[in-house]
Amino acid sequence: MAQITDIQPKSSPRVRWSWYLYDFGNSAYAAVVLLAVFSAYFKQQVVGGARGSWLWGLSLGIAMLVVAIISPILGTIADYSGTKKRNLFFFTVMSCFFTAMLFFVQAGDIALGMIFFILAEIGYRSAQVFYNALLPDIASEDEMGHVSGNGWAVGSAGGIVCLLIVLPLIVFIGGTFVVRLSLVITALFFLLSTIPLFLWVKETKIKTPIPEGRNIFAFAFGRLWRTFREARNYKEFIKFLVSFLIFNDGILMTLDFAAILGAVLFGMNQQQLIIFMIIVQVTSVIGAYLSGKFADRYGTKTSLVISLILMIITILILVFLVKDLYGFFGVGALAGFALTGVQSVSRTMVAQMSPEEKSAEFYGLFAVAGRTSSSIGPTLFGLLAAQGALWYERQGMAVVEAEKAGQRVGLFSIVAFLAVGLSVLLFVRDVSYEKRHKQLT
């Protein structure tokens, strides 16, 4: 049997760390805005009651739908014109600006809060298309598993650092002013962390002249249509996209409603929510690193299947066994370990299944699958939780207990998305494992 020789890394440590540090910054946005601070603040303070869950889910759904529409077109343009970094810069600045603008959202400012959050979320999600598409520029196929895993691990650490910055302010000063100020701090943290990437990461794609008589947008639509038609030649990629379209909803629903679940089910205050999210981020670092290593050794599909099974077990434990705050902290730690494995390995599978010259374009299709479904999942969870609470109230249950019961109804939708997505994934051939097996024989 032939031995695998050492492969020269595709990029320098400085370039890779610059790429990692972008994740370090944008994970701060996820940790503070989506997970620990703004989601609960919007639901409890800006809106209040079960309606807050519904409007939070609706806001997420609108943002995801917009990204689903624009990301494949932007990905096509970036692939052809070599503008991944330019697009990444625009959407990053957009996200940071509107994150800072959330400072002005106070109790009762529902429309303002929804608009600023939707715009910040569109910037955040759109930027990820171009950030992910830079992976083939810095890592060879044999390195992608652990490089992607390292990115998630460093990113999770960024979430921890930002939460540790805002936690003392909330604990020792408190008040809604400090909660809103933490959003400005997060925007600055995110923006500063992106600087190394824009300085040192280079695109390998050379700009290609636009065919005479055609503008870039018309050409983008035409090329995208060809990509959809050519996708029939990438059957494993299409099967994976279908599975991802389904199970990713379960992952994002878990992330987007984690703080709301903690506040409603266990009465967690802002300090407890931040500590909870720090724990989740710590285990996320471990999960991202180990899943990347495991994917490189045993195949990306195997790693992804294990992470999804662990996520399903985690949600079922929350539904049937967790009765107190300590149990919720334990479930959060387990979920953090599993969910970053799902996200990191999914990103790696796209890179392995798509041709390098169309990386941003395929990541655009990847975004369509994720964002189209994700415009449904959070909206559905919010609707189920709100309607469930109303149904239980009509049965004579107290308002507080009815809202708790409604949230548990929503949790079953997460299990359904994860289980169905996993079922489809089992039919996807593990391309990475097959390639590695050929190298060994």
Interatomic CA distance for residues 29 and 25, integer angstroms = 7
Is 6 inside a domain boundary?
Answer: no
Q: Which two tokens stand for residue 384?
A: 């189920």
Instruction: Give the predicted TM-score (pTM) of the model.
Output: 0.78
In a domain, 210, yes or no: no
Query: What domain range includes position 338?
Result: 14-203+216-440
d(CA 380, CA 67): 18
**Residue 75 within a domain:** yes
> How many domains does the chain fold into?
1
**Who contacts 90 (Cβ-Cβ below 8 Å, separation ≥6)?**
none
241 near 366, Cβ under 8 Å? yes
Domain CATH number, residue 284: 1.20.1250.20
CA dist 36 to 50, 75, 261, Å?
18, 31, 11
User: Domain for residue 149, yes or no?
Assistant: yes
Do the domain assignments include residue 115? yes
CA distances from 93 to 185, 191, 223, 284, 303 (A): 14, 7, 28, 26, 34
One digit per residue, the tens of pLDDT, for the chain of length 441 reads 333 334 456 778 899 999 999 999 999 999 999 888 999 999 999 998 888 988 998 998 899 888 877 876 777 676 666 788 888 999 999 999 999 999 999 999 999 999 999 999 999 988 987 888 788 788 876 677 678 778 877 888 898 899 999 989 988 888 899 999 999 999 999 999 999 999 999 887 666 666 676 666 677 677 767 767 776 677 888 889 889 888 988 888 888 888 889 989 999 988 999 899 889 888 888 887 888 788 878 888 999 999 999 999 999 999 999 989 999 999 999 998 998 888 878 878 877 787 766 665 676 667 666 655 566 778 888 889 889 999 999 999 999 899 999 999 999 999 999 999 999 999 998 765 555 545 444
* Inside any domain, residue 2: no
d(CA 256, CA 259): 8
Using only C-alpha atoms, the chain has a radius of gyration, in whole angstroms, of 21
In a domain, 211, yes or no: no
| Of 272, 46, 41, the residue nearest 179 (C-alpha) | 41
